[in-house]
Structure 1
């Protein structure tokens, strides 16, 4: 890798090196930028370490531009960053760290470059390239990070037990990097994760979710989840998913392992969506199965009502994990509740009414629901898979046909509650709601068309039965 040629091609590196020389500082680009440069991955975050004041270096670099460059200083952390178009550039002084057992917040002291690299999480992130003139572009790799990149290995630069005990979030980061890069975790490093998995309890849910989100958004998230499960990290923050694992048998009747089924559904949906919350729906679609599992001598294992139970579990899981308690949670909850409904529509005898009700309940999310349902087909029998997919093709065609005819996907009542009150001189009351509900049901059941004329005609008939009279 010709680091010198790459660094010379970007002004920021030669500029920082020149200013560091003027200040008499050693300065290096470190960490993720160096790693991604070697891996030929895009990276817009540049981290500089200098042996001295990173804040002072950042200030001088910002001042060197003719145009205004935004500078943010974080004195408590000894860091500063500047933004150059779409580049985020951070500066910090080299440091060494020590930790208390009950906190992942380090005690920081000034240190050497060696000490700074030694404190980093993994060897692939513990490399530096000099930007000083006398050794510009020279790689410093004291822990053989290049070798570990070549062998696709995640490994800590020092004793992994100490590394993970000091900052337990690094265990999540190890699995996240393994999932993103499709690397293996070195055996001693992985065993240290198993040993210290319980230490994850001192890490905030927000930080854990940051790493989990990155795992979910990888091209094959099952790899990361399997590592989380085997290491028992998953047990620390997602016990509901852990409970999906396992197979019960009575006689010759068994059920599938719902943990590994869920991972297959997640992998199946991944090529079809970058929507994090649709991927969460895949993760949670069967989360209610352990609570609803029953055995019947004739039927075998059943999970009746698991979709409703799962939907009721979603808010609690989101709340505990510090995931957003807003429309995104409601979207996931809706898809979990509805994920079995399209399966019931594969019969040729299915009524338009059933299709209308699915369109009404799913609304604009009906296409995402169908994407989830297709991903939920995980049989090893390819003929069975193709048969189910062909059935879903018919369902989607039926959804399109009924929607074009009846327009109920985003159902708005043809007659509003305000109009009903005005027509019959009513105050807000139970009877107004009943009239609106009966009109909606008549449309969904196909008794009337979804238009104002037919809705008003029905309204007058319903009102007459209730003894209501129109105003003249």
Structure 2
């Protein structure tokens, strides 16, 4: 492995080394930056550890950089951050930590580089490179992290039970790194995830969700979810996902395992998008199948209404996991609610009216909805998959045809409630809503053109019917 850095990064390191020498602080770049550079991955975050005051070292460097960088000091934590060009450089003094059983917040005291490396989560994150003049660029690797990096192994530097008990978030980080980097978790370390899983309960939902979202944004997120389920961590923060697992057979009829189906849909969609919220829609599209599951001898297993119940469940899950409750939630809910609509269109003669209604309901999210629906095809029967995909292409062509003609994305009927009230001299009332709805339905059904004159004439007709004409 070669430690690849850019020329301007080397100049920064040399300048940090000069500042460290002036202050008499042995100084190193550690952790993720070293790991990523050895893996030839991009990294703009540098963690600098010095045996001394990280704040003083940052202030010393800030005085030498041009243009003068933004310096942020976190006095309470003994850290400082410099933003210089496209780099974020964090400075901290080497320290050692001790933990209480009921908290992941450690008691901190000054320490050596060895103490600082001992507190790291994994051997591949404990790698350090010297910035000191006498051995500039040399690797400090007390836990053979370089070997683990070459072997694609996630392993704790100390006994895994202590590492995970001290800071249980590291259990999720182990799975996240394994998923992101396509590494394997060393067997003893992996076993400890199950043994100490209950410790995850002391971690805030915000921190759990940060790691979960990074797993979801990985190239093959199913790997992370499978490990979360196998280790027993998943039910602690996402029991609805755990509930999808399993197959029930009754009278010789079984349903598919919706946990593994969901993961397949998630992997499928991840090949086509890095949109976190579209990936969340894939995760939640069948989330309500367990509570809506029913059996009868004629139909077998059914999940009627799971898209409607799933829309409601999405809000509860977002709230519990501290995910945003703004337009991102609304977007996910919309895709969950509508994910069966395009499938239904492939099973019948596609009418312009059905297409108009889908365009009206999906708005600008129609393309993402179709991406989700195509990802939802997980049959092992290749001929069936090909047939479904061809049917979807017909739907997509019809969507384009109707959209170019009727312009229904994010559409509002050409006659507003204000126009209705003003023309008929009536106050806000149910009649106003009824007339407006009738105009909208007539346009969507293709009974009248989508323009003002046609809609106005129809408004007059409906006004007479409702006794206000």
2:202 maps to 1:199: no
- Residue 342 of structure 1 aligns with which residue? 342
Shift of 1:348: 5.3
Task: Provide TM-score, normalisation by structure 2.
Answer: 0.98
Q: Structure 2: how far apart are the matches of 1:24 and 1:380?
A: 65
- Residue 416 of structure 1 aligns with which residue? 416
User: Which secondary structure state, in structure 2, belongs to the residue aligned with residue 37 of structure 1?
Assistant: helix
User: Which secondary structure state, in structure 1, belongs to the residue aligned with residue 271 of structure 2?
Assistant: helix
User: Which secondary structure state, in structure 2, belongs to the residue aligned with residue 220 of structure 1?
Assistant: coil
User: Which secondary structure state, in structure 2, belongs to the residue aligned with residue 272 of structure 1?
Assistant: coil
Q: Structure 2: how far apart are the matches of 1:420 and 1:197?
A: 61
Shift of 1:256: 0.3
Matches within 5 A, 1:208-287: 208-287=208-287
| Equivalent pair of 1:45/1:87 in contact (CA under 8 Å) | yes
Change beyond 3 A, Cα 1:460–1:372: same
- Residue 404 of structure 2 aligns with which residue? 404
Change beyond 3 A, Cα 1:2–1:447: closer
- Residue 101 of structure 1 aligns with which residue? 101
| Equivalent pair of 1:8/1:14 in contact (CA under 8 Å) | no
More off after superposition, 339-348 vs 293-302: 339-348
More off after superposition, 143-152 vs 66-75: 66-75
- Residue 374 of structure 1 aligns with which residue? 374
Q: Structure 1: how far apart are the matches of 2:464 and 2:385?
A: 53
Q: Structure 1: how far apart are the matches of 2:143 and 2:8?
A: 26
User: Which secondary structure state, in structure 1, belongs to the residue aligned with residue 458 of structure 2?
Assistant: helix
Shift of 1:17: 0.6
What do residues 217-274 of structure 1 show as CA deviations (whole Å, max 9, x unaligned)? 1110001110111111111100000000000001321100000000000000011111
2:86 maps to 1:86: yes
Change beyond 3 A, Cα 1:244–1:380: same
- Residue 159 of structure 1 aligns with which residue? 159
**Unmatched 5+ stretches in structure 2:** none
**Alignment: residue pair count:** 469
More off after superposition, 345-354 vs 202-211: 345-354
| Equivalent pair of 1:413/1:440 in contact (CA under 8 Å) | yes
- Residue 386 of structure 1 aligns with which residue? 386
Matches within 5 A, 1:19-168: 19-168=19-168
Q: Structure 1: how far apart are the matches of 2:344 and 2:6?
A: 58
What do residues 326-354 of structure 1 show as CA deviations (whole Å, max 9, x unaligned)? 11101100100110000111145232211
**Unmatched 5+ stretches in structure 1:** none
Shift of 1:13: 0.5
* Alignment root-mean-square deviation, CA: 1.4
More off after superposition, 117-126 vs 413-422: 413-422
Shift of 1:180: 0.5
User: Which secondary structure state, in structure 2, belongs to the residue aligned with residue 281 of structure 1?
Assistant: helix
Change beyond 3 A, Cα 1:409–1:433: same
Q: Structure 2: how far apart are the matches of 1:144 and 1:339?
A: 49
Change beyond 3 A, Cα 1:442–1:15: same
Q: Structure 1: how far apart are the matches of 2:133 and 2:400?
A: 66
